[in-house]
Structures are given as structure tokens and as C-alpha cells.
Structure 1
Amino acid sequence: MSSNSSLHIVIFPFMSKGHIIPMLNLTRLLLLRHGITVTIFTTRANSPFIRQSLSVQHPINIVELEFPADIPELPPGVESTDRLPSMSLFVPFANATKLMQSDFERVLENLSESSGVSCIISDGFFGWTQQSAEKLGIPRLVFYGMNNYVMTICRVLALDRSHLKLGPDESFTVPGFPSVKLTKNDFDPEFNEPEPKGPHIEFVMEVAIATSKSQGLLVNSFSELEPAYLDYWNREFCPKAWCVGPLCLAEPPKVHRDQKPEWIKFLDLKSAEDRSVLYVAFGSQAEISEEQLREIAVGLERSEVCFLWVVRSKVEGLEERVEGRGLVVREWVDQVEILRHESVKGFMSHCGWNSTMESICASVPILAWPMMAEQPLNARMVADELGVGLRIVANNGSVRGFVGSEIVEKMVRELMEGEEGKEARKKVKDIGEAATEAMEGGSSWRTLDQLIDETCRKKNP
């Protein structure tokens, strides 16, 4: 590879923890390539989290842009989707970021003139940064945080829409992938319309067009995990996809200098008792009804399994009834640290891709319960494609809908104690080991080197 000594890479993550964290891990990987300078763009409210997350051993430039004020639909002071009162405000929030374009370009132009900028790696939701990159003659790479399976299937079905005439729970196969069986309910409702329209669709189309004009896609996956989908994408579509993950493996182990948090003390105690723990978390943006939360609580209680449940809402009486066996946490936790804990043997998850990768890398099987966006497709991949987990379905047998406590209880026991759970545990261990190999000098490490070389050489011959 050519020398990195003059390379300057700009990173611009979308304002959401699920997007910031993997891009910070990508930053760590870039900084391991000696001589690369990295500048991260963010907003004032998101800057402290970024500064605290990155090691002081790696000097890094952080540029704080002003988040647009007085956006009618948005509560004042909200600069991250994690703090939105409802995900229905996602599109107004994402569109508001376009108002940062002139400030972004001004700083970017100054950086380019003073030290040069080799390339921009920006979140896919920042489609407008493609215009900025073109204006200043800088290559742009895109990071979405999705896998090749989801990207490929969604693109194929956007072109072949024959499944739209089916009922919501009728099974169909994906053209080119006869083993993949889906239903319309695996997609958010607006994507199942014959003529999809509305602000969300307009936003998706806008960022898709911007992505198609970029120089490449960084994918938080590894080629051995989903070779057929990576090959198909790079054969049929553009821009080229580059697997550089799992990025969570770049996250350093946590060191508790002061007192351990309660959730680590709980896991340590269960480990000392030789008891397995189910970790339960549905991400920071899932909107779950009170009725559904009660059914989850009852199912966990009746399963008699030890559990650690991270949830914002209070579930009346649960903590008292499961004291000593279950712990309910309402504060922020370090999910990677939890999944790496020796006592954690299962993960009831919404199947966001970060969470899925973190669980696989920790060799923890997944009880898949998707909530929104591409999560149902991730759940299909987890249960059907990879076999590293089991799938929760609604009372009516659909992949969407209300799930009763008896289903929760049954599936928790099966994951933690049943034969299907044992098989998933075996498979996830094998795939977790392959993930580590990919990152430790294997396919993903080499791919990132090649990507840096090819993309930066356009700017720095």
C-alpha cells in the first residue's frame, strides 16, 4: 500500500448513537494505520460523547457544527435521534441537517486548503455531503451500518415488485435467492405500496441517489459472513461495497477505575453462582406499548431464567418479584461489555445490526424480536440464514404484531435451555471466531487497507 503519511480522512457520523459508535470504531481502525490524520465532524451536543469515547492516546481533530435551531417540528435542543420524543420525527430531523451544509463546506474547504482532505466518510443519511464532496473534488465514501443481505434484497425487490400483489403474511422468494423467504410484513408499510410516496420515501430516494454517485460503501460486516450477497451487490449494483467489520471488535475493553456499575456486579454474582443470564434490550429508539411491556415482564418472570433487562419504562412490581434473579436497568449501559461477560448466554434483541454484530462477536445467540426499519430482515438473517438465533413471532403467527407472555416464556426457555438454543450457541461460536479472524489481519483488515489505497490515491497520486 502507498504511504499513509499525507492522508487526511474526514468522518461525519449521523447524530444517533447507533451510527456514531460504529464510525468511532472505524476511526480507531484508521488511526492504527500510522500517519493517517482523522477529523470528525459533529454537533456541539454530540461532541462530549465522541471525545469521551476516543482514547487520549490518539490525537484527533473534532469540528463542532451548529445544529439548526427553530425547526418547527423538532423540540428545541434535540441534536440526536436518541432524544426524539418519537421516531415519526426522524425525517424532519434528518432533513434539518441539510441546513448545516454551508458551514460544513466552509470548514471542509479550509481543511482542504491547509492540510488537504483525502476523502470523506459520511453517513448515508447525509446525502447532501455528496454535493459538498463533488463541489470540492473530494472522494466520498458512504457508511450506512447495514449488511449486504439487507442492501441486496432491498435493491432486488425495488426492481422486481411482483411480491406487492400478495397478502401481508404470504410467503414469497426473492429473485436470485430462492432460499430467502420473506413476507410483506418484513418491510415497513410505506414500502409495500404500489406507488410509494410521502416524506419518508422521498428521503430514502434522495439518499439512494446520492449514494449511487459516491466512490464506495463501507459495510459493517465481513465477507465470510455473507459472500453470496456481497458478490451479488458488487456484480449487479454500485457503488462497490467494502466489508470492513465487525467494527465492534475495534472497541477496547472497558476498565472500571472506580466502583463497578450495578449491572456488572449483578452479572459477576450470577457468574459466581454458575447461572446463565439472558440480556434483554431493544435499542434506544424502539417504541413499545405498555401492554406489550407487561407481557414481556410476565414472560420473563415465568421463564425462571436469570435476566438483565435494559428498558426506559418502569414495569410495575417486576423488580420486587424477581429480586435476585432479574435486574431492570434504566440507565445507559455498555452493551458490548455486557455481551462479553461470561455469564451472558442469550440476547433478546431488536436486531439492529450493531447489536447483532456485537452478539455474534461475543458468541451469544440471539432471540430475535425486530421492531422497525430493516430489523425484520436482520432477524431473518439471524434465524434463517445464519442459524445463530431463534425468532419470536406474534400471537397470530405474523412477523409483526402483539406477542403474548406465553410465547415470550416459551422462546426464552428454548433459547437458554432447549435444543434449538444449543444449536444456535454452537453456530454463533463458530461465526464469532471467523469474525475475529477477519478483523485480526484477515479479510476485513486487508479490505480497509485496499480501500484506503484505492480511494485516497485518486486524491493523492
Structure 2
Amino acid sequence: MEGQNDSQVAVVMVPFPAQGHLNQLLHLSHLVISYGIPVHYAGSAMHNHQAKVRIQGWDTECLTKIQFHDFQLPPYSSPPPKPDLSAPFPVHLQPLFDISTHLREPVSELLEQLSAKCRRVIVVHDSAMASVVQDVKFIPEVESFHFNPVSAFYRFLGSWEDIPEFDKPFKIDPSVIIPKCIPSREGTITPEFSRFLVDQKKFWGIESGRIYNTSRVIEGPYVELLEKLLGNNTETKHFVLGPFNPVEMSGNQKRHTCLEWLDQHNKGSVIYVSFGSITSLTEEQIGELATGLERSGQKFIWVLRNADKGDDFCSGKDGNLEFTEGYEERVKDRGMVVREWAPQLDILAHRSIGGFMSHCGWNSCIESISMGVPIAAWPMHSDQPRNAVLITEVLGVGVMVREREDRGMLVSSATIESAVKRLMTAKEGAQIRKRAMELGDSVRKSVSKGGASSLEMDAFIAHITR
């Protein structure tokens, strides 16, 4: 079906304005466009720009095929991030999250315009933007799909726990791995964000189907449980289309200087350290991490930047995150510190990368898995603690740096040093790296022609163009 042109159908992406969410739906946009179907990407002007300048892995010409709709948000406060070990959730972004609901009117107007011209309009909206697309039920020829931006493992466990024991609709097959010690959701998000999500969930259920950025190769049992729990009938379709990110990098992009540094090192010899775009570490924690990396004796590339602000994604370039005197000079032959946005996909795909110390946001997890890179899991908030359990205990492609029960505590340099050595040099790490490479191979095969994810993408396109 690749290359077909059905101009009677248009797809509208409505992303949540946080980098990992923007990224996933922009990757999906590229996949849909490859079938010759026009895609509209609807968001605030600033966040559309953010998504475009940070896209990785695709030929840059692909962006010209997506129609971006740059809407303006009302003024809102944008406080700087406040690093806090006891409360790592990005509370400084809550004003942005709240104001994003004002996109309802311009998005509805866009859908009405497209509805008048197209046989069918397909809306793919982030689950946290459900209120923005609530008017789809009143607009002719518009069909919506709920995009799940987190792991199927996380989504199933949360849905299952919310059902009283006496009302569970079925028993989970013993062959499905459900770890005994599942981290509690308590304290993973703020009360304010919890209320925001509750408000969004009021508008769940009007969609025609659900889309997941995962693979049945990775999370097949948990996808099947979700299908069984949420209903898998003709009215509600479940499409498991991931990974959305490319698994082979386009050569038509200017290379970041960090990639030239990586070129100088042996295969699998470098650990990549990054905690995503919305997490800031305290100065004390930065010091412990720096010492742990140095003492580990391992080569490393570390992206050290403050979290994005709500109104200025370039705010991550922060020069005041400093080490003790002489640190960078001491580690210059085996360590590189990047103080700006870095091309994570390109880094993970580089042959010299042998591990990834990560916060375990789902975007980072799926990218690392698809590149066959094992993870040193250091979860911070939201879905990350449970993603870390999926990575380490279910899939067996990572080691835990810090347990959820230790949240709020400083992670010592000794703990960091031990985790790096376990992953990069120990016998345990060798087995983990082998499993990660095997899983990565399986995932890459699934997106190639005739693979499970490729066939599921074909089915999704056939469904929306029926």
C-alpha cells in the first residue's frame, strides 16, 4: 500500500505539548505520509517549532510534506524548573498543560474546514488532549483515535488496579509476567496534574480506536490484556504501530559534534547518560553523578541541561551547571559533556554506544529498545518507575540504578559507579546486552516489510481509508 494517494482522507495529529509526546506523533506523521495520505499537525506555534527543530532520523525534506497549523495560546506563566529530589515532577510546566486546553476552538475550526473538503478526517490525539478534540462527535465525517503515549505495561496495570478485586472481569493467565513488587503510583505526579488527567479522561470513550507506540514483539501480552479489558470489537480498534521512530538513521542531516567524538571510540564502549527534556538534577546530584561516572572508568557521553521551560524550549542550554574545578579536563579523553539539545536517536544508533543511563520515559525506552541498547534505569516520576520494572524485570534488558522506594534520596557516586560497571563490564551486563541486541533485532524486523508492526500499520491505513 506504500505510495498510494487517497486525498479524500486527511489525518490530523493533536499532540500534548511536552517533548516526548510531540516527538512520538511527529514520527507517526512521517509513517502516515509514506502511504501518500496528507497529515496536519495541530498545536501551538512554539511547540510545533520545537517538534520540527528536534526531529531526528528522517530526511529533513519529510517535514515539508506535513502541514503544520500554528495556533496561539493565551498568555500563561512560565516559571523556571526547580530541581527537587523529593518531587522531581516538572511542576513548572503545569501552567502550560492547563492552557493547552484552549486549543479546543482552533482545532475544532480546523476539523470543520477539513470535514467540508474530505470524505473522512482522522484525528489522532494524545490521551492527555482528549478535551481539545471533544467536538469531533458533532462534526460530520470525523473519526478520532486515542493515542496512548506510555507503555502498554503501564497502561494495563493502572487500568487493572482501578477495578475493585470483586469486579475484575477475568483472571490474568499465569504465563504473563506481573512482577510482585510493582512501584506504587503514589507521588509519581502532582495533585494538580492528577486533576488535569481526570478532566481529560472524562472525554475518553468517544474514539473509534486506540493507537500504541509499542510493538507486540516487546509488549504483546500486555497489549492483549488491554484489548481484552477495554474491548476488542468492531467499534473499538487497537493498533500497535510502534516503534514510531526510524530504526535506521537518514544520512541527509548535519552531524552533531558529539557523533564525531563517538566515532573515535570502540564498539559498545560508551555509556550515554540523559534524563530527558523535562527533568533537572540538583547541583548535589550532578556532583555525585560526575564522580560516579569518573570512578567507573567507563567512557561516557552525558547530556547535562536544565529542563525545558513552558515558553522557551531553548532554555535547556544552561551554562551554570558546573562541576568541580578540573573535572572536564580530567575526563576529556573518555568523557564528553553536552550542554545543549543532543540527537538522542543518532547517539543510540551509534556503534560505540553500549548502554544508556535513562530516566525511563517511554519515548527513551522505545528508542533504546529499537536500537538494541540496554538501559541503566534511573526513574524519576510519572510512568517512569513502572517502565523501569518493565525494562529490568520483565524484558531483562537493563539494570536498576535506583529503586522507587529510594525516591527523594541522593543517589551516591558509589551507587552510580556500581550500576555503570554492572551494565558495561560485569558478566551480568554481558547477558543483558545480549538480550537487548536480540530484542532490538526482533523489533527492527517487525517494522520491515512483512513484519508484525509493518502489517499492523498497513491494517491501520486500510481501516482509515476504507
Q: What is the deviation of 1:211?
A: 2.5
- The aligned counterpart of 1:409 is 417
Alignment partner of 1:24 out of 5, 23, 26: 26
CA contact (8 A) 2:41 2:68 kept: yes
Which has the larger displacement, 441-450 or 23-32?
A: 441-450
Alignment partner of 2:385 out of 373, 376, 382: 376
Q: What is the deviation of 1:343?
A: 0.7
CA distance in 2, matches of 1:243, 1:95: 29
- Mark the CA change 1:29 to 1:287 in structure 2 (over 3 Å): closer, same or farther: same
- The aligned counterpart of 2:256 is 261
Runs (5+) with no aligned partner, structure 1:
79-84, 163-173, 192-196
Letter in 2 for 1:219: Y
- The aligned counterpart of 1:224 is 217
Q: What is the deviation of 1:114?
A: 2.9
- Mark the CA change 1:426 to 1:49 in structure 2 (over 3 Å): closer, same or farther: same
> What is the correspondence of 1:195-206 to structure 2 with a 5 Å cutoff?
198-206=191-199
- Mark the CA change 1:150 to 1:190 in structure 2 (over 3 Å): closer, same or farther: closer
- Mark the CA change 1:228 to 1:129 in structure 2 (over 3 Å): closer, same or farther: same
Letter in 1 for 2:240: C
Q: What is the deviation of 1:376?
A: 0.6
Letter in 2 for 1:377: R
Deviations 1:149-202 (A, max 9, x none): 11101111122489xxxxxxxxxxx976674235574424278xxxxx943222
Deviations 1:282-307 (A, max 9, x none): 10111322222211111111001010
Deviations 1:292-338 (A, max 9, x none): 22111111110010100101132333312212111111111100100
Larger RCO, structures 1/2 (Cα 8 Å, 6+ apart): 2
CA contact (8 A) 2:247 2:370 kept: no
1:426 is aligned to 2:424: no
Q: Number of residues paired by the alignment?
A: 426
- The aligned counterpart of 2:99 is 96
- Mark the CA change 1:305 to 1:210 in structure 2 (over 3 Å): closer, same or farther: same
Q: What is the deviation of 1:447?
A: 1.3
CA distance in 1, matches of 2:223, 2:428: 28
Root-mean-square deviation (Å): 2.8
Alignment partner of 2:159 out of 155, 162, 165: 155
CA distance in 2, matches of 1:17, 1:270: 30
1:344 is aligned to 2:353: yes
- The aligned counterpart of 2:240 is 243
Could you tell me the percent identity over the aligned residues?
A: 27
CA distance in 2, matches of 1:139, 1:182: 40
CA contact (8 A) 1:362 1:432 kept: yes
Q: What is the deviation of 1:277?
A: 0.6
Alignment partner of 1:212 out of 183, 205, 213: 205
CA distance in 2, matches of 1:454, 1:256: 34
CA distance in 2, matches of 1:346, 1:19: 23
Alignment partner of 1:144 out of 145, 148, 153: 148
- The aligned counterpart of 1:123 is 126
CA distance in 1, matches of 2:97, 2:251: 32
- Mark the CA change 1:89 to 1:160 in structure 2 (over 3 Å): closer, same or farther: farther
Q: What is the deviation of 1:124?
A: 1.3
CA distance in 1, matches of 2:360, 2:342: 17
- The aligned counterpart of 2:339 is 330
Which TM-score applies when normalising by structure 1? 0.85
CA contact (8 A) 2:11 2:124 kept: yes
- Mark the CA change 1:251 to 1:220 in structure 2 (over 3 Å): closer, same or farther: farther
- The aligned counterpart of 1:6 is 8
Letter in 1 for 2:40: T
Letter in 1 for 2:265: K
CA contact (8 A) 1:278 1:347 kept: yes
CA contact (8 A) 1:286 1:372 kept: no
Q: What is the deviation of 1:48?
A: 3.1
CA distance in 2, matches of 1:399, 1:421: 24
- Mark the CA change 1:156 to 1:358 in structure 2 (over 3 Å): closer, same or farther: same
CA contact (8 A) 2:78 2:95 kept: yes
Which TM-score applies when normalising by structure 2? 0.84
CA distance in 2, matches of 1:182, 1:140: 36
- The aligned counterpart of 1:314 is 322
> What is the correspondence of 1:348-359 to structure 2 with a 5 Å cutoff?
348-359=357-368
Letter in 2 for 1:244: L
Runs (5+) with no aligned partner, structure 2:
82-87, 306-320
CA contact (8 A) 2:372 2:440 kept: yes
CA distance in 2, matches of 1:97, 1:216: 23
- The aligned counterpart of 1:56 is 61
Q: What is the deviation of 1:31?
A: 1.0
CA contact (8 A) 1:215 1:455 kept: no
Alignment partner of 1:303 out of 286, 296, 300: 296
CA contact (8 A) 2:20 2:363 kept: yes
Deviations 1:384-438 (A, max 9, x none): 00001111125x9746633211111111011000011111111111111111111
CA distance in 2, matches of 1:19, 1:112: 26
CA distance in 1, matches of 2:151, 2:183: 20
Aligned to 2:204, what secondary structure does the other structure show?
helix
Deviations 1:429-459 (A, max 9, x none): 11111111111121112212222333443xx
Deviations 1:21-60 (A, max 9, x none): 12111111111113x1111112222333445547435523
CA contact (8 A) 1:29 1:250 kept: no
